[in-house]
Structure 1
Amino acid sequence: MGRFMVLAAIAGGGYMLYRKFINDAEAVTARGEQKRAEQKNGASGTLVKDPATGEYYVKKPDTP
């Protein structure tokens, strides 16, 4: 029974690491696509509307 618990813990940890890796890879891909779109359009940033004031501002990159 002890071996089963250890194997289950290892498998669970491995799955969690795998999901973290996939989520990080998707985030990097999305940032790359955003940069490519900005370069294609000649833009220097993405504008985002502030719902409180109604003003637009340049979107800040997500920092880890």
Structure 2
Amino acid sequence: MPQLLVMAAIFGGGYMLYRKFIADAEKTTERGEQRRAEQKNGAIGTLVKDPDTGVYSVRKDQE
């Protein structure tokens, strides 16, 4: 029985690491596609609208 619990913990941890890896890979791919689109269009950055003030600003890399 303890072996079953250890195996379940290993598989659960592995699944969580796999999901984290996939999420990070998707973010990296999306960021790369955005940068390629900006270079193709000759844009310096992407503008985003602040919902509170209605002011547009250049998107930061963290977003």
| Number of equivalences | 63
Q: Post-superposition shift, 1:50? A: 1.2
Residue identity (%): 70
Question: Which residue does the alignment assign to 1:28?
Answer: 28
Counterpart for residue 2 of structure 1: 2
- In the aligned structure 2, how far is the partner of 1:32 from the partner of 1:55? 26
Structure 1 length-normalised TM = 0.93
CA distance in 2, matches of 1:10, 1:52: 45
**Structure 1 outlier segments of 4+, above 3 Å:** none
Superposed displacement of residue 55, structure 1: 1.1
- How much does 1:35 deviate? 0.1
State the secondary structure of the residue aligned to 2:45.
Answer: coil
CA RMSD between the two structures: 1.1
Could you tell me how far 1:62 is from its partner in structure 2?
A: 1.2
TM-score (norm 2): 0.95
Unaligned runs of at least 5 residues, structure 1: none
Partner of 1:61: 61
- Number of the residue aligned with 1:14: 14
Unaligned runs of 5+ in 2: none
